[in-house]
Amino acid sequence: MAEGLGLREVGKSDFVLLDEISIESFMNNLKLRFQKGKIYTYVGEVVVSVNPYRTMDIYGPDTVKQYQGREFYECPPHLFAIGDAAYKSMKRQSKDTCIVISGESGAGKTEASKIIMRYIAAVTNVSQRQEVERVKNILLQTNCILEAFGNAKTNRNDNSSRFGKYMDINFDFKGDPIGGHINNYLLEKSRVVSQQPGERNFHSFYQLLSGAPDPQLKKMHLSRSPQVYTYTCPSQQESNPGPFPISDKAEFKAVQTAMKSVGFTREEYATVYSIIAAILHLGNVEFLAEDEDSCEVANQDALAAAAELLSTTEEELTKALCFRVVAARGEVMTKGHTQQQACYGRDAFAKAIYEHLFTWIVSRINDVIAVKSTRHQHGKDTVIGVLDIYGFEIFDNNNLEQLCINYCNEKLQQLFIELVLKQEQEEYQREGITWTNIDYFNNKIICDLVEQPHKGIIAILDEACLSVGNITDKMFLQAMNQKLSNHEHYSSRQLVPTDKTLEHSRDFRIRHYAGNVTYSVEGFIDKNKDDLFQDFKRLLYNSTDPVISAMWPEGKLSITEVTKRPLTACTLFKNSMIQLVSNLASKVPYYVRCIKPNEQKSPVLFDNQRCQHQVEYLGLLENVRVRRAGFCNRQHYGRFLQRYKMISQYTWPNHRLASDQAAVQVLVQEKGFKHDVAYGKTKIFIRTPQTLYQLEENRAKLIPGIVLFIQKMWRGGIARMRARKMRAIYLIMRRYRQYKMRSFLVDLLDRFHDVRNMADYGKSVAWPRPPAVLDEFVAQLRKAHNGWWARHIIAQIPERDRKEVRLKSIAYGKLNRQRKDWGMNQRWRGNYLGLSEDIQKAKLFNNSLNTLVAHDKFREVLFSAHVKKVNHHNKSSDRALLVTDKFLYKLDPKKGYKAMKQGTPISQVTGLSVTPGQDQLIIVHLAGGNDLVLCVTAIMPRHDQRVPELMAVLCDAHKRGNKKDLKVTVSDRLQCMLGNKNRTVTVRSHDKGAGVTFRKDGNAGLVLVGTGSSQ
């Protein structure tokens, strides 16, 4: 269901939904999904994982979010789903959970466990607490360390776990990891001294040789080539293991970083790799036979290097390798070893050193990640266990290790079937559904064959190991043949003489649930005894390195102390398996079944026979039958309605019935499925996959329309929300503008409320800065205020002076501060000729004026003065200028101020030009193209200014008559038109006594010489 049970899924995402429950249909579905890149498939709540042998982009943060908090069937099958299910069950129900990962070597168990741990780390500690983050990082880093010292390259897997690992992750009441604990099982220590052809020793040896810096190797007396050392290049190797796809050098650095992160001290780190180096040197130690009962070390260099690295002396190490101290009836004797015994002791010593090192590393990690107990603890701490343990093994030569590994898988398979059946039965009883008995293969009989007291294989082997005398492996086989002759799952050549695949006096066969496995008894006795002379234990306990000494606490017993016979290797393993199974049975289990698709590690090849064998021994088909025995699917009523309510008019969009169960019943009856379902107390149970397909098909037809409807409503909702926001924004803006305007106006009123009583009528009051929206209003307001202010100021001026003040204000505005002295402080009299002190001249001017008034009917004389004029022939002449309210006249002073021509209307004046200096030059621009170029003369007092007054008079008269402002140009170089020709007029100081005159300056220039105040 996780991929949606529509037609678009690849095969069946859940094997329970297969139309036919057979090995053929199971394999076809598994193969189809593998070929389409779907490496995960469900069997109910069990994840079947096929090793893809390639990197897949399905584990990133986006995928984590996709599975976090979702139900099992809501997303495609994935390891994240089972990790989330275990975490949710642990957090919601405060129950301990465990995830059991099984499969054969190379099926991807270790990678699966790391993926699950990374997922759990990603979804926890949302509050980012430092201590929780530290624990998470350590839990993730432990994988790197344990893989280096516990994994090796085998013919089936480049990174095969050669030990079983069960990790408990402890969580606090909030669901954050606060610690953990690791248990390791049955390290394959025999690999230290010998490997199958094409395989390697543990990674740690090669990582040291490849990754350690040269000074460190020199200090350890090592060379980089593994071929130099017996334990990394044994003589029985028929072929070179070939290049290793993982960089040992890079992994060495990664392990360094991980050990530092976990908390290994520098001294501990140095000791760990000193022990690895010591084992390599120990493997190169050879012996020469002195006589039948003694031997000596043949190469002292290797022995000396090993002794130095183990922090002991050459003499003590030689004595432990070549002699054995025996205590008998209180007497201590030294007994020499034969060459064969010394080699056996050396190898046993090397295996024991590595095993003790690995156990110490695990215990050291456990010390670091142990849950810190506090007095103030809230709620209950819970646990998620992750079991990554070796899968079922069938080799050409199977020995005691394979028997223990396969016995472990038998125990886990027994637990798997029992717990699955138990869960099914409990769920049926809880929901009030009738339980149907299911026939399945119960492998308890095989477990008993191995572990039963007094009768099982382990008991028979222990008895042989404890017997006095020289008990051989053949004698052990004979004992099994006698006691197990009637067992249907045990056979040997003696019991079945016709079976020539079994060797006489060597082989026996067990019919496991996964298939028949033939075991060779050679080495069973020695491996089970796992003898290590006490001399070696005392040797390393007395090492001067405190880390090495702490690894061998059993060495503190003196030679004369009598100790209890230790338990055999198989008994220890059996006890640990019983404890492990008991621990798992107390938790809510989740399962990952890993499958290896081919032996070539190809991402495209699917070996049907190989995969079918794994499916059979993993019991996956039995699991499907268990899930399908009653009902193929079950869901809570609420979840069922949430998924299928749209297919019924009575439940869409929400039902109004008494309960969810009643609503589900109405929906099922409407669709005609009532005979294929059963109703529990909280769940609906669906019997056949066809009903589920019909429900999904009906749902799939309606989903597009619902999606469009939701999109429409969503878009409408978004648009309405945006509209409400915009209206709110505009309202806020409007209210804010009102507030700003109100604040501005209140401030303005406060500042100007008493301006009538101020001396300057508010001229000195600073205007507050208005809001942008009031800029135009404030400009008009300031204009109005200026007018009001001006009226009040003018009201204070005497009536006779108002005209003069108005003209001066016009001049001030037009000159715009470009002329420094413009006559502001002098009296402007206007009609200077009529008011002249020369009575004779005044009389002549007034007579001429009366004649002009009678002729032209003007009402007022605005300005009159003597001027120097220049014409288009560059000829200068003395004239008088008369400005009235209508006309501008040129008068001839020599002829009694007679008008020389008709007056020029004021309306024909187009502009004025003056200089910024003290001269009295002014150009009156006329519409006819023949401008008046004038210099006011005969000024008394001498330093008075007449030009600004004349300019103001002309501007005022022009505006009154034409309602337009005259343009006034202020410049050092004035442009004009004389005789329709462009001329440039400038001012230059005249020679002393030369008077005022215009002179030609080049072809198109005139220059005024003199200041205009001398005549």
Active site residue 110: yes
* Catalytic option among 102, 105, 159, 271: 105
CA distance 344 to 644: 70
What SS3 state is found at 403? helix
Tell me which DSSP letter residue 387 carries: E
What SS3 state is found at 176? coil
Residue whose pair of structure tokens reads 């990174």 in the numeric block: 159
Query: CB–CB of 811/965 below 8 Å?
Result: no
CA distance 711 to 924: 78
Measured on CA atoms in the order 118, 120, 123, 129, is the torsion positive or negative? negative
* Catalytic option among 97, 124, 142, 161: 161
Residue whose pair of structure tokens reads 């107990």 in the numeric block: 373
CA distance 276 to 149: 10
* Catalytic option among 104, 147, 199, 393: 393
CA distance 644 to 454: 59
Which residue pairs from 886-890 have beta carbons closer than 8 angstroms and sit at least 24 positions apart in sequence?
Answer: 886/856, 886/857, 886/858, 886/859, 886/961, 887/856, 887/858, 888/924, 888/932, 888/954, 889/852, 890/932
Query: CB–CB of 624/26 below 8 Å?
Result: yes
* Catalytic option among 29, 49, 110, 274: 110
H or E, element range at 915: none
CA distance 110 to 108: 6
CA distance 148 to 246: 12
Tell me which DSSP letter residue 756 carries: G
CA distance 154 to 591: 25
CA distance 525 to 509: 18
Q: Phi, psi (5° rounding) for residue 55?
A: -80, 135
CA distance 391 to 514: 11
Q: How far is residue 958 CA from its own chain's centroid? A: 79
Residue whose C-alpha is closest to residue 218's, from 275, 303, 277, 260? 277
Active site residue 391: yes
Query: CB–CB of 637/651 below 8 Å?
Result: no
Please report, as a single letter, which amino acid is at residue 70: R
Residue whose C-alpha is closest to residue 387's, from 182, 144, 140, 141? 182
Residue-wise DSSP of 640-709: HHHHHGGG-TTTSS---SSSHHHHHHHHHHHHT-GGGEEE-SSEEEE--HHHHHHHHHHHHHHHHHHHHH
Active site residue 83: no
Active site residue 160: yes
Active site residue 113: no
CA distance 165 to 588: 18
* Beta bridge partner(s), residue 828: none
* Catalytic option among 11, 83, 106, 762: 106
Side-chain half-sphere exposure of 871, counting CA atoms within 13 A: 6
Active site residue 142: no
Catalytic residues: 105-106, 110, 157, 160-161, 391, 393
